[in-house]
Structure 1
Amino acid sequence: MSRAFVKEGDGTLDPLPDLPQSPHPNYVTPRGLAALQTRLRNLQTSLIALKSRPERLDKLPEAACERDIRYFESRLRSAILIDPATLPLSEVAFGLAITVADDHGQQTTYQITGEDEADARLHRIAPQSPLARALIGAQVGDEVIWRKPSGPVSLEIVQISHSNQ
């Protein structure tokens, strides 16, 4: 093989492309802000450990960690803190807990949180989700339509409260 086509490297790795950032405002609850800060600190600690390895031939883990650090630094810079404890309970808003009842009387409580904090298993939903868009601005007693892929679901707002999580 001709040496003209072999890239001789110096052992460095080009930075990995940045992770995509959401085009939406980065609203965060105090819990969500603390979680972002913790994730960034953990990544910074991991990077130190990766760079102190005696054998560092594989630089990909370091590059991935540096990419993730850039992502979380950006998320923290763009964070818009909203403390739900200061919000009135007159209508559904970011950070509040909303208890809804479906047509069968089954009640579920959701909390509208930041994108990084959203977790369907914990009923934490992002403000851009179809359910959150249906709920925001509604008041107790209102009926909203949640447009799910399986078809629309009617929900009645039963309670609006401050989340105790």
Structure 2
Amino acid sequence: MNKVPMTVAGEAALREELERLKKVDRPRIVAAIAEAREHGDLKENAEYHAAREQQSFAEGRIKELEYKLSNAQVIDITTLAHSGRVLFGATVDLINCDDDTEVSYRIVGEDEADVKQNMISVSSPIARALVGKSEGDEVVVKAPSGDIYYEIDSVRHV
């Protein structure tokens, strides 16, 4: 079994979603199926088929979340000794060596990744290039569009 790395906040978000699916969505869907059954012929009952599809999706997501949580490796970065090195959970400020633009990324688990919030998966090309490096190091990110050169400006473990 492979462990699924995630931050403390990521685990809490998955647990919250699981609770909502079990305690709110599941009962609502069961009620919708029961109501749709009362309308008669199930072969031509669109509400029934839509509710069954929702139930299938919800049950699949519940199983997926339970698997991920049972195999979670929750990493609390505040307890790690880091000394300026890039680790899982760190926020890294980068300077693009070509055009001097700055960008910050936080390295998180796959389920937490959200590029719009500058949270990247630990398995992404950028994160793989950064992990283990230190402030001041230059890194090469092997991107589909070509190599990108960054300098690590600072590493924060918040």
TM bucket normalised to smaller: 0.7 to 0.9
Task: Indicate the structure with greater helix content.
Answer: 2
2:123 is paired with a residue whose SS is coil
TM-score normalised by length of structure 2: 0.84
Q: Percent identity?
A: 33
Alpha-carbon offset, residue 161 of structure 1: 0.5
Alpha-carbon offset, residue 51 of structure 1: 0.6
Tell me, in whole angstroms, the C-alpha distance in 1 between the residues paired with 2:2 and 2:101.
Answer: 32
Contact map agreement 2:125 2:141 (CA 8 A) in 1: yes
**Match for residue 66 of structure 2?**
73
Q: How does 1:10-21 map to 2 (within 5 A)?
A: none
4+ residue runs over 2 A deviation: none
Deviations 1:5-56 (A, max 9, x none): xxxxxxxxxxxxxxxxxx8631010110011011111211201111122224
1:50 aligns with 2:29: yes
2:84 is paired with a residue whose SS is coil
Give the CA RMSD over aligned residues.
Answer: 1.5
Deviations 1:112-134 (A, max 9, x none): 10000001111111111110010
1:31 aligns with 2:9: yes
2:147 is paired with a residue whose SS is strand
Tell me, in whole angstroms, the C-alpha distance in 1 between the residues paired with 2:74 and 2:15.
Answer: 13
Give structure 1 stretches of 5+ with no counterpart: 1-22
Tell me, in whole angstroms, the C-alpha distance in 2 between the residues paired with 1:37 and 1:89.
Answer: 31
Q: How many residues align?
A: 141
**Match for residue 149 of structure 1?**
144
Contact map agreement 2:2 2:71 (CA 8 A) in 1: no
> Which residue, 101, 124, 147 being the options, matches 1:106?
101
TM-score normalised by length of structure 1: 0.80
Distance 1:49 1:89, change over 3 A: farther
**Match for residue 41 of structure 1?**
19
1:115 is paired with a residue whose SS is coil
